[in-house]
Chains A and B, each alone.
Chain A
Amino acid sequence: MNEPLLLELTVFVLAAFVGVEVISKVPTTLHTPLMSGTNAIHGVVIVGAILVAGSHHGALTTTVGTIAVALGASNVVGGFLVTDRMLEMFKRKPAPAPDDTADGGG
């Protein structure tokens, strides 16, 4: 077994533990937003799509990569926005809305 793979597996296993720990106590109320938020986070696959689409390895790779970028971008942008909309509802009072500029920026 080579060293990079072992390092990657280490990261993988530790991330699994963090993933379980970090959400172990979540009120039912937040299950839907949490699902939606994690859904947006796995949109990070767009990173892989960008590497493929920008690699100039021929027409097929570029085409498939571009479609993957589009799918990933809608996962990221839509995911974070829809989560934000859900969480907006939890405000007690309609405070003067601050500018929201924190949308993934695909």
Chain B
Amino acid sequence: MSRADLIGAAYLVCAALFIIGLKRLGSPATARSGNRLAAVGMAFAIVATLIDRRVLGFGWIALGAAVGGIAGAVGARKVKMTAMPQMVALFNGFGGGAAALVALADYHDTVTLPGHVAAKIIVSILFSSVVGSISFAGSMIAFGKLQEVITGSPVTVAGQQAITGGLFVVVLALCAVLATGHESQPLLGVAMAVSLVLGVQMVMAIGGADMPVVISLLNAFTGLATASTGFVLSNNVLIIAGMLVGASGTLLTQMMGRAMNRTITNVVFGAFGTGSGTAVAGAGATDGQVRATTAEDVAIMLAYARRVVIVPGYGLAVAQAQHNVRELADQLERRGVDVRYAIHPVAGRMPGHMNVLLAEADVPYTQLYEMDDINPEFPRTDVSLVIGANDVVNPAANNTPGSPIYGMPILNVDQSTAVVVLKRSMNTGFAGIENELFFDPKTSMLFGDAKASVSSLTTAVKNA
């Protein structure tokens, strides 16, 4: 068996491990082993590549791998669970950047060689460098928005769509020139620079609430850029792994969008409240009074309820209040209250984010209810405790046609006997729209940081 055969065989094993790993990631019982299998596959691919005869020196590779590997490991270990979405965005951007740089270096090597560059190579290089650049820049902006370094609300300039369209046309035109026999490294540099601007422009215009969908989309982009790099290098494992991610990422983006009642085109081209600002008031319902309450009053309601449904939202995640919430639930259960958690598919900032956070706080799985299972239970619920959630409990989604979130599946907390909303202030949620639930006569508001509020509730329940 020649060395090339050996490498090919290792790549085959790697591709198989990626596919099996991905499959196992789709089920809770096997997900962790799936991730590890994929990691083993990755190790195979890397070792196989290192014995490739085209690799002449290891010094620079070792340096790059050490710097990147350590940064990645430290980042992944140190990041708080609530900050995971932006971490994924960051890593995704790095992958896109790597794909674009590999394409750039390949172009440099190819054009300095004598002879004509094959059309397949040049087209693949252009695709990788453009899509990789868009993914890099877009992911960095998504990171900035989720980290709240950049404002979470959509930032648009006059003629937003025209500019985006114009930039896109410029990139296409540059690619057309480069693909039709005109070899120029500066021109490829310009194309990549414009792609970077395009990536920034596209994601800046999208509101923070849509970031999970955007990251998922950019994840698929990076996969496609990787696959395209595979065509440049005639490397099967890049083609397979890149396309696996490209395809599954696109599907995942659609599934996430569906959970939020958004289509991909809707997310990319029609940001929430573009220009029109915030106020889509719900049929005059927001004229009413907001009723503020105290921890002691809420504690009495909770302590003597038969069933309490807790609706955790992003505010809970931000305040790191998941452990305090579990303590409160423990106190209530000790008093014989039936406590359940209602998990909206997009609670937190990503689908499934809230399950992860609550699992971290050792909340038993059996108390977590998905939206479709808990919604019929709200009419039999004494108190719904909404902690840092907003848009996912906004009745406007059910009864205000014309609201940007109309049609989005929500948790029907307004059907329970009483609603208590723990909230920092009266600011609107991520979608930037008013919530008529807060003005409902059976709703009372407990203002303050989620963690502090929940702690004082726990103390008050103990004394009740």
Contacts and interface: CB of A to CB of B under 8 A. Distances in A.
Interface of A: 4-5, 8, 11-12, 15-20, 22-57, 60-62, 64-92, 100, 102-106
Interface residues of B, number: 114
19 contacts: A19-B243, A27-B27, A28-B345, A37-B35, A38-B223, A43-B95, A45-B102, A48-B229, A53-B60, A53-B64, A54-B61, A55-B54, A66-B63, A72-B94, A77-B69, A81-B73, A82-B76, A82-B84, A104-B39
A23 B252 contact: yes
A51 B49 contact: yes
Interface of B: 14, 18-19, 21-23, 25-28, 31-32, 34-36, 38-40, 42-43, 45-46, 49-50, 52, 54-58, 60-61, 63-69, 71-73, 75-77, 79, 81, 84-85, 87-88, 90-92, 94-95, 97-99, 101-102, 104-106, 108-109, 120, 212, 215-216, 219, 222-223, 225-227, 229-249, 251-252, 255-256, 259, 345, 350-353, 355-357, 359-360, 365, 370
Contact of A26 (B230, B255, B353, B360): B255
Contacts of B357: 89
B248 A19 contact: yes
B248 A69 contact: no
B57 A22 contact: no
Given A81-B73, A92-B365, A30 B26 contact: yes
Contact of B68 (A54, A74, A85): A74
Contact of B356 (A18, A73, A90): A90
B105 A64 contact: yes
Given A41-B22, A71-B98, A89-B359, A33 B247 contact: no
A25 B65 CA distance: 35
Contact of A90 (B32, B72, B350): B32
B259 A78 contact: no
Given A42-B226, A45-B229, A102-B36, A35 B215 contact: yes
